Amino acid sequence: MAAVATCGTGAGSTGSVVAAGSKNNVTSFQRRGPRASGSDSSYSRLVSIAGTRPSVRNGQLLVSTGLPALDQLLGGGLAVGTVLLIEEDKYNIYSSLLFKYFLAEGIINGHTLLVASAKEDPADILQELPAPLLDDNVKKDFDEDACNHKTAESNIKMKIAWRYQLLPKMEAGPVSSSRFGHYYDASKKMPQELIEASKWHGFFFPEKSSSTLNIEPCSLTHGYIKLLQFIQNIIYEEGFDGSNPQKKQKNILRIGIQNLGSPLWGDDICCMENGNSHSLTKFLYVLRGLLRNSLSACMITMPTHLIQNKAIISRVTNLSDTVVGLESFIGSERETNPLYKDYHGLIHIRQIPRLNNLIYDVSDVKDLAFKLKRKLFTIERLHLPPDLSDTVSRSSKQDLAEPSKLLGPGCGVMAGGKKHLDF
Amino acid sequence: MFPELNNLLNTTPDRAEQGKLTLLCDANTDGSFLVHHFLSFYLKANCKVCFVALIQSFSHYNIVGQKLGVSLTVARECGQLVFLEGLKSSVDVFFRAQAEPHPLQFLREANAENLQPLYEFVREALKPVDDGEAAWRCPVLLVDDLSVLLSLGMGAVAVLDFIHYCRATVCWERKGNIVALVHDSGDTEDEENNILLNGLSHQSHLILRAEGLATGFCRDVHGQLRILWRTPSQPTTQRDRSLTYQYKIQDKSVSFFAKGMSPAVL
């Protein structure tokens, strides 16, 4: 994977406002990266790939996921060469939105896209991408929406609740000269000319399923084999793995795979308890092998709530680099719970990789909730609302205590605690 | 290698034991720091190491190894380290039919019976050098990690057989060591993984188990390490010695302390 040392301004690791992702300064000291294909001259070109920046901690090349708040939680962004697995929410509303943000970010940055789906034609998916928010419009909207945002008043010292000044500011306003991470307006569509100017490849499984296989049948399902061959072809032909050294400008390949593991791909792990239990995990392993040796980043959405065999979910988690789970409140009893009235769902960061390092950037905040405002998708720390009932009765406390007990021990990246300390 | 862990295990690179199977296990947390420790430990102890790295790329281990004071590229070039990079070779095996059997041949097959090609690879890699020069101290096989083999279609019995064959060759015949990492899936019912873990636990001389804290995430204490010394060959009436420590991982080292004695708390 590309590792480039830089002295540019990086984003703060935990708990600070996302700084302007400015263009990185190339120093004379460049850590020799591991890519066997690159010669020395290619490293200077690596730095200048649009839409990427090196990580502060280990020089890993990062791309934005399309949501600056999520980038911050993942330690700056998604590392090139890794897989981001999104565990879908129950009705696939918010995960498909995250998928679209990822692709839209690719178009804005000029990356090549590879969209794979078994449900919708990739051309249709691209038509539905959200439009990017331009900077002057955004500032206006932010002032309208946010009456209690502290970002505008960050230099006002708090007198009474002074402890809150020390809290990390989760939500960051868009910075005008930001080249890394953009905001999108979910209510508007991406302009047609931007889509046409972008380079993309689509894999729509029902169209490709009829062609013959030229690989001997292993335990992978037909759809996965074809998808792997398609991805490998694109990576090889377009030189993302460095196989065409005379390509003038290096670029990132963003791979988006939708609903992996669903029955539409021909896999039966969502239907049966003892289905083909190795197909998906083998696919992920070979996919990760392809990604590690190329300049690409992949986002996969997977309906893990449908997988019958729970062992597969833990294996899939171990085989992915970054895992984020979405849990929406639609249809569950939490929709009416006063604890969650401001939010649309919870977001769980289940795993963050330790790449080239013993440690990683992990946010201290484990209880995160998201909400989809009119134009923005925000992720915030979940606060317990103050108990303002007239009589502090036992029953109301118990209602709130039950869901908070689920949150309390921390949906931890490192440990899922079962013991609840009662003080 | 982490000097504090060496103290806890009562070893140094100069007097590393031989003929031992060490099992690394992690539950609810990431135990890969133990793999980095043993890799750098055995490289510093001047042993010939065969590293079957199935889960991360060579550069990852190399960069971390440099922080711990060993250079994997140098070791590989001078023959001390034989590195099988699972991710890169899996792509080669999967897309192109290979002429001779490849250690990861089972990726191409629908029902791979056993891990014999992988065993042959290990045996070839740790073959003693016959030409008289005093090369390396003892052969070491390091596997990161065995649970991935289950995900790739092998049964638990096949993986146990593989370890058994490796133990016969590496530990008994050539007086070397084996270190393997297995994930403990905890309460998710991964039966194959439990079979593998239990089977290996009964065969190993030393078990290092990294667990997350029972109370959840903590910034200053990253987890708990349980060390268990066993004698699998001779059943003894003595109880096996076991120690428990908590640890915090830092940029270049890991600090260990007794339970509840984290410097952040005291």
What local confidence, expressed as pLDDT, does residue B16 receive? 83
Q: Is residue A115 over pLDDT 90?
A: yes
Contact A356 B215 (CB under 8 A): no
Facing residues of A300 across strands? A85, A257
Residue B247: which pLDDT band, with cuts at 50, 70 and 90? very high
Which of A218, A314, A417 comes nearest B190 by C-beta? A314
What's the whole-number average pLDDT of chain A? 75
Q: What is the ipTM of this complex?
A: 0.93
What local confidence, expressed as pLDDT, does residue A166 receive? 66
In chain B, how many domains are there? 1
Which of B151, B217, B250 comes nearest A414 by C-beta? B217
The pair of structure tokens assigned to A413 is 């990246």
* End-to-end C-alpha distance for chain A, whole angstroms: 46
Tell me the CA distances in angstroms from B241 to A357, B14, B233, B244, B260, one per residue in order.
32, 23, 16, 10, 21
Facing residues of A346 across strands? A327, A369
Q: What percent of chain B shows pLDDT beyond 70?
A: 97
Q: Show Cβ contacts of residue B50 under 8 Å, excluding neighbours closer than 6 positions.
A: B81, B82, B84, B122, B125, B126, B139, B140, B141, B142
Q: Is residue B236 part of a domain?
A: no
Taking contacts as CB-CB distances below 8 angstroms, the residues of chain A near B111 are 219
Mind listing the pLDDT tens digit for each residue in A252-268? Answer: 999 999 999 998 988 88
Distance (Å, whole) CA A400 – CA A383: 12
Q: Show Cβ contacts of residue B145 under 8 Å, excluding neighbours closer than 6 positions.
A: B35, B54, B55, B180, B181, B182, B183
* Minimal CA separation from A67 to chain B, in Å: 25
Q: Is residue B10 part of a domain?
A: no
> Chain B residue with minimal CA distance to A282?
B152
Place of tokens 């792990």: A269
Q: Which whole number is the average pLDDT over A188-211? A: 87
Q: Is residue B85 part of a domain?
A: yes
The pair of structure tokens assigned to B17 is 């034991």
Q: Is residue B212 part of a domain?
A: yes
Domain that holds residue B52: 29-231
What local confidence, expressed as pLDDT, does residue A167 receive? 64
Tell me the CA distances in angstroms from A356 to A32, B9, B59, B238, B256, one per residue in order.
13, 26, 7, 42, 22
The residue among A315, A321, A418 with the most chain B CBs within 10 A of its CB, best to mutate, is A315
Q: Is residue B184 part of a domain?
A: yes
The pTM assigned to this predicted structure is 0.83
Ordered DSSP codes for A15-61 = SSPPPP-PPPPPPS--PPPS-TT--HHHHHHHHT-TTEEE-TTT-BE
Q: Is residue A407 over pLDDT 80?
A: no
* Minimal CA separation from B127 to chain A, in Å: 28
Contact B94 A228 (CB under 8 A): yes
Q: Is residue B45 part of a domain?
A: yes
Taking contacts as CB-CB distances below 8 angstroms, the residues of chain A near B215 are 409, 417, 419-421
Residue A362: which pLDDT band, with cuts at 50, 70 and 90? confident
Q: Is residue B240 part of a domain?
A: no
Number of Cβ pairs closer than 8 Å across A and B?
154
DSSP A3: B
Q: Is residue B226 part of a domain?
A: yes
Cα–chain center distance at A187: 20
Mind listing the pLDDT tens digit for each residue in A310-348? Answer: 889 999 999 999 999 999 988 887 777 877 888 889 999
CATH topology of domain A52-146+177-381: Rossmann fold (3.40.50)
The tally of CA atoms less than 13 A away on the side-chain side of residue A287 is: 30
Distance (Å, whole) CA B119 – CA B28: 30
CATH classification of the domain holding B51 = 3.40.50
Q: Show Cβ contacts of residue A178 under 8 Å, excluding neighbours closer than 6 positions.
A: A20, A21
Q: Of residues A363 and A378, which shows the higher confidence score?
A: A378
Ordered DSSP codes for A184-198 = EEEEEEPPHHHHHHS
Contact A282 B111 (CB under 8 A): no
What local confidence, expressed as pLDDT, does residue A34 receive? 44
Contact B151 A285 (CB under 8 A): yes
